[in-house]
Structure 1
Amino acid sequence: MDDSGGGTRIQRRNRARILDAAIEVFAAEGFRGATLDGLAKAAGLSKPNLLYYFASKEAVYVALLDTLLDTWLDPLRALDADGEPMAEMLAYVHRKLELARDYPRESRLFAGEILRGAPMLESELRDLRAMVDEKAAVIAGWMEAGRLARLDPHHLVFSIWALTQHYADFEAQVRAVLGRNRDPWSEAEQELEVHFRRVLAP
């Protein structure tokens, strides 16, 4: 995942390299099991070189989670208040599923932090709440106008997260149940469109 911080091209490249490596290390070892030595080795840098960019393991982890959360919010940001409600909601479902498909390690890493109680994400979760509140108000307006079924918009967003991210966070389980001859992602895309179209129909 790219890092857009300041500095020279080499500095930006090294920061991105560290964060890319950190996804693998934290996903495999967890936050407590990961070490600075392990992060540096995975990034192909010396430990002092890594510490030039990040002051601690915690700093790497927080930068990574901050980048992930920003990426995770992109599909919700794209929800257009001026669009056709059903089309906007189904497009949101598809964008969330595509994100889970394309970034499964990141999805599992983020889920792991939430399961730990999100101790490193307190301020970022306030940003998440603000974004969800803003879009929930848009969805509620569509429901009040009779353009979508009346549901709690926050819980509707939760259900979209649960049904899309499940395919990344529990991919091994999904593939074990479906078998190796089926494509869970293409099947999920079809099934979730049918599901949410029915749920949201006014």
Structure 2
Amino acid sequence: MRQRNEKAILRAATTLFAKKGFDGTRATEIAERAGLPKANLYYYFNTKEEIYRAAIRHLIAGWDKALRHIRADADPFEALEAYVREKLDYARKNADESRMFANEIISGAPFLSRADRKHMHDITLEKTLIIEQWVAEGRMRPVNPRHLFIVLWSTTQFYTNFEKITCDTLEKPRLSPSDYEDAARTIVETVLRGLRPGKASSDP
């Protein structure tokens, strides 16, 4: 029951935080949306801030899972394609988390803890070193791994974080799984294809 109620609280809180921000969301609203008495909310979490930080950690864990594809012994392009696809899929299925985190960063990351920032830095460095190894082994064309990650983060998050403008651009009322599949294919074909060794970025 504890696990079920904590999950319900985090799901309700994430939706509200994504729409109204931290300051605009009241604990009472979270409890009501989760279908729990307000007293129960504080049984599982001491403060609203603790709920907010837990929601951030849940998102980071999801992103960590997508990064598991990037391993030194993996094929670089299969690994990066799998990462792109899982990142897009996670954003689609957890849109409120993605938007909440985007708002947190735009606001100057006031609640992103030092430990979480260090974790994100360390795991990015770990994967950066793997990409550098692939380049050194001649398995990829030279690329700045940090800029590559920024490009992949930007493209995989945009569809969810800016869904309205994405829908306007695609001339659709809402995005479907097939739109995310098209996005994955486009990212792979335009960003990753040019990194294959022996190919110029303009080669078909």
| TM-score normalised by the chain length of structure 1 | 0.90
How far 1:78 sits from its partner (Å)? 2.8
Query: Which amino acid is 1:179 matched to?
Result: E
What is the total number of aligned residue pairs between the two structures?
Answer: 193
Q: Within the alignment, does 1:68 sit opposite 2:63 as a pair?
A: no
> 2:195 is matched with which residue?
200
**Equivalents in 1 of 2:122, 2:86: separation in Å?**
20
Asked if the contact 1:143–1:149 (Cα under 8 Å) also holds between the matched residues in 2, the reply is yes
Percent identical among aligned pairs is: 36
Asked if the contact 1:136–1:153 (Cα under 8 Å) also holds between the matched residues in 2, the reply is yes
Range with bigger deviation, 76-85 or 151-160: 76-85
> 2:19 is matched with which residue?
28
Unmatched segments (≥5 aa) in structure 2: 198-204
Asked if the contact 2:15–2:97 (Cα under 8 Å) also holds between the matched residues in 1, the reply is no
> 1:186 is matched with which residue?
181
Aligned-CA RMSD value: 1.5
Asked if the contact 2:9–2:41 (Cα under 8 Å) also holds between the matched residues in 1, the reply is yes
**Equivalents in 2 of 1:43, 1:98: separation in Å?**
25
Paired residues for 1:118-157 under 5 Å? 118-121=109-112, 122-157=114-149
Give structure 1 regions of 4+ aligned residues with deviation exceeding 2 angstroms. Answer: 181-184, 196-199
Range with bigger deviation, 188-197 or 150-159: 188-197
Asked if the contact 1:23–1:106 (Cα under 8 Å) also holds between the matched residues in 2, the reply is yes
Asked if the contact 1:175–1:184 (Cα under 8 Å) also holds between the matched residues in 2, the reply is no
> 1:6 is matched with which residue?
none
Deviations 1:140-163 (A, max 9, x none): 010111111111111111110001
Query: Which amino acid is 1:103 matched to?
Result: N
Query: Which amino acid is 2:64 matched to?
Result: L
Q: Within the alignment, does 1:91 sit opposite 2:82 as a pair?
A: yes
Unmatched segments (≥5 aa) in structure 1: 1-9
